[in-house]
Amino acid sequence: MPVQGTGLSILDSPFARKLTAFVDLSHDDLSVLSDVYRRRRSFAAGCDMIHQGQADQAAYIVASGWACSYKLLPDGTRQIVDFQIPGDFLGLRSVLLRTADHNVEPITRVQASEVNEQDLLDAFSQTPRLATAVLWAASRDEAMVVEHLVGLGRRNASERMAHFLLELGARLTLVGLADRKGYNCPLSQYQLADALGLSAVHVNRVLRELREEGMLSFQKGKVAFQNYEALVELSGFDRAYLDHQGPLLR
């Protein structure tokens, strides 16, 4: 069951890896999922995939590349709500609520499968297990938003940075793109600043302090965990909200 445009099985796709962490999907489920992947599109970095306020906006499943969701404020500043990685669903709310409430911008070149409202409804009617898995993924995304709010409101800059980079590592590990040593990361200090409510100067200072304390380094597009346990202790990182304990529905 190849993914269109690749020689890979649907099981090798980041989205399937992510969903099967929660629900054991049957051959029929995976066949339906493969159909959802059929329309593949490519987006250049910096060119919005989803536009705030647009009606009848398609959703996307990221196959490769990184993107960010953000809101523009009246004064032209922006708040990055989250970063999307391979395996993530973009714009699901935009499809179900029929109007996009945020923008999505590729940070790198993104390959993604376009999914419209009818695609989703057809897939969910054919396989409730797939619908359950997508509901889990959406619930997990909501849990991450809650953690980000806690970080912005109650964690200091070092705790906020450590928690965020640990969370990214856990998310990337789930789809085979990271381990306890670290991961490749295309984010700039300005993007981290927009996500964490800090200035770029403050981001630079915090990363330098974490490096000097022997906890992590973020250089040349690579996050390296030098003392994983110390980072967990510093940030109070508890990965239970990411629910990576294996399938609950078999």
Per residue in 76-129, pLDDT tens? Answer: 888 899 999 999 988 777 776 777 878 899 999 999 989 888 888 888 889 888
CA dist., res. 231 & res. 160, Å (int) = 11
CA dist., res. 202 & res. 156, Å (int) = 11
What are the structure tokens assigned to 74, written together? 């009246």
Q: Where are the alpha helices (DSSP H) in the chain?
A: 14-20, 27-36, 92-96, 117-126, 128-154, 157-174, 189-196, 200-212, 228-235
CA dist., res. 110 & res. 15, Å (int) = 14
pLDDT tens digits for 27-68?
Answer: 888 888 888 888 889 999 999 988 888 877 788 999 999 999
CA dist., res. 28 & res. 42, Å (int) = 28
Confidence of residue 246 (pLDDT cuts 50, 70, 90): low
216-219, strands of its sheet edge to edge = 182-184, 222-225, 216-219
Beta-carbon-side half-sphere exposure of residue 127 (alpha carbons within 13 Å): 22
What are the structure tokens assigned to 12, written together? 């090798």
Residue 131 has pLDDT above 80, yes or no: yes
Q: Are 224 and 217 in contact (CB under 8 A)?
A: yes
DSSP string, 173-209: HHTTS-BTTEEE----HHHHHHHHT--HHHHHHHHHH
**DSSP 8-state assignment for residue 55:** B
pLDDT at residue 8, rounded to an integer:
44
Residue 6 has pLDDT above 90, yes or no: no
Q: Which helix (H) or strand (E) holds 232?
A: helix 228-235
pTM above 0.85, yes or no: yes
